[in-house]
Structure 1
């Protein structure tokens, strides 16, 4: 499939590609939908095996950002930037500044922040070449580390699902199996441990596992975690982990985690529903990061305001669960309806037609 066909399939407005032989930069920015406002999404640096793989990731992730912002009630659209390369060995100041110049050519249609393979210091470097950056350190007037609010939002989503599954939202004594233990998972685990939940984690990084152990999280093998008997399975690494193969392994009542695009296909959401497993749509409960970033756009950042809006993820998740129950549909479909209804209403007001 060529790029234009892929854009039509996913409903994208724009895809921009950039190459800088001097720095080795090869990157893509996908802008999915700007109905609600400028597109916003992190810059991901990953050693993709091909341009096609990088493009597919940018398209999927930017589409998810549209739904994430719409469902969260933000005036932002969906975008995502991807850089083809290994962040551990190929990330340089020159490459990041070149990326910043690329972002700047879009004139504010895309606002970038951190993602897999980029950190706050990288944003400071990118900021040297463009103003269209969110999530800078609070000492620089930004909203800071997006993973803190993301972790809080996931925790709130878990509690809403717990209320649906067990009649009370307490997670005390519940077992949570976390697949991946990066920054977002760590912050989610802090809330879980504070409520006396039992937390298990698997990760390919020894550093992440050391952090887990230091927090009191029990470490298990990466092959063991998908089939582990638990109350909540929390995918917190890369996408596509909920698929026809792994669904058969699941021994949980709830799937709720921080990874983007957890479902390999839309049908996997239906399969979870038919199996009686409650699924917390990823774009709904991991929206804390973009909520936090949005709190600095055009205003002085207020952490309490960002926290209060992130805590409302509980209410959003409860609404999706109620819609799912009432209409006997999957939570994945119910969450999509919530986001699409807001997009449709704003398009109507603005006289925008999209198929």
Structure 2
């Protein structure tokens, strides 16, 4: 790929390659935009097939964080880190401490947290070398694992979509198909089950599936069957690009709303599902609960769980606002979500032009 052409097209600020052979670190930090404030975005560890795949992933994810943070009303820019390696066998104290040194060298332009393939214990290692990390296990006023709060915000977003579609946001009696039963997906199952929803689930981890069947009375299906089940809502909570040419003809739902990032394989797929009559909750709007939770750590006095949850409840209104823009401008919701984020960046950017 022509990296500088891509950076110019989407107006990225910085791409940093981090290498420490002694620690086994090969990582890429991407800072997309800092108009609203320091760039916040998690550290993802993944066994990428190639370096080019890792570069493209960090670029896409960082830009997504800019839009997520802006649309959520946070005074934060967007960034991301990807670590090339197998999170099951390549993690070490030295690796994450080495990454922490690189983050410290950015002098607060970038703040990290956990993401796919990393956990709060990994963030504790990074914390040994930098203060620019959030979502820790033991620090006073730390928010800890953001997954349950991400699930809470996703649940609120699902309810907003239900209100638009059926005139009621109650989940009682609704059938929801959930793809992915990790920390977020499983917590979402509990929220929906407690409200009386019927669950259809799948996951690559059979233990997670059986736990959902046992605890929530969920119906289990194979991974390739989840797209075609009869349901009211399809909720993708695993990895991205699952709305594509192969899956769209299978969907038998009225709503697609889940916590996974980059759900549309291509933007045009957002147009296709809209034309099919499916209401799509853009991922960076509905899954913002985790980053809202982490942001609360940075406020005066440190982390306050009640304050964070009150802010996460705004996901409901943000989804409604995206739907309203979609109707107003006669555009798909994925485009409306971009407008919501871009308008805030533009407005606050003008406010901040005054020299202090």
TM-score above 0.5, yes or no:
yes
**Mean Cα displacement is larger for which, 336-345 or 241-250?**
241-250
Task: Name the CA shift for 1:82/1:196 in 2 (closer, same or farther; >3 Å).
Answer: same
How many residue pairs align between the two structures?
Answer: 352
Residue aligning to 2:36 = 36
Residue aligning to 1:130 = 130
The 8 Å contact of residues 273 and 329 in structure 1, kept in 2 or not, is answered as no
CA RMSD of superposed structures (Å):
1.3
1:11-26 to 2 correspondence within 5 Å? 11-26=11-26
Shift of 1:138: 5.9
Shift of 1:100: 1.1
Matched, 1:292 2:287: no
Distance, in Å, in 2 between the alignment partners of 1:191 and 1:138 is 27
Q: 1:322 aligns with which of 304, 324, 333?
A: 324
Shift of 1:283: 0.3
Residue aligning to 2:353 = 351
Distance, in Å, in 1 between the alignment partners of 2:286 and 2:177 is 17
Distance, in Å, in 1 between the alignment partners of 2:305 and 2:35 is 26
Residue aligning to 1:248 = 249
Distance, in Å, in 2 between the alignment partners of 1:196 and 1:264 is 32
Residue aligning to 2:195 = 195
Residue aligning to 1:223 = 224
Distance, in Å, in 1 between the alignment partners of 2:353 and 2:93 is 43
Q: What SS class does the counterpart of residue 315 from structure 1 fall into?
A: helix
Residue aligning to 2:272 = 271
Distance, in Å, in 2 between the alignment partners of 1:229 and 1:25 is 45
Please give the per-residue CA displacement for 1:34-68, whole angstroms capped at 9, x wherever unaligned: 00011111100000011110011101111111011
Shift of 1:243: 1.3
Distance, in Å, in 1 between the alignment partners of 2:258 and 2:195 is 17
Matched, 1:304 2:302: no
Q: What SS class does the counterpart of residue 31 from structure 1 fall into?
A: strand
Distance, in Å, in 1 between the alignment partners of 2:211 and 2:90 is 25
1:151-190 to 2 correspondence within 5 Å? 151-190=151-190
TM-score, normalised with respect to structure 2: 0.96
- Unaligned 5+ residue runs, structure 1? none
- Unaligned 5+ residue runs, structure 2? none
The 8 Å contact of residues 100 and 126 in structure 2, kept in 1 or not, is answered as yes
Distance, in Å, in 1 between the alignment partners of 2:176 and 2:215 is 14
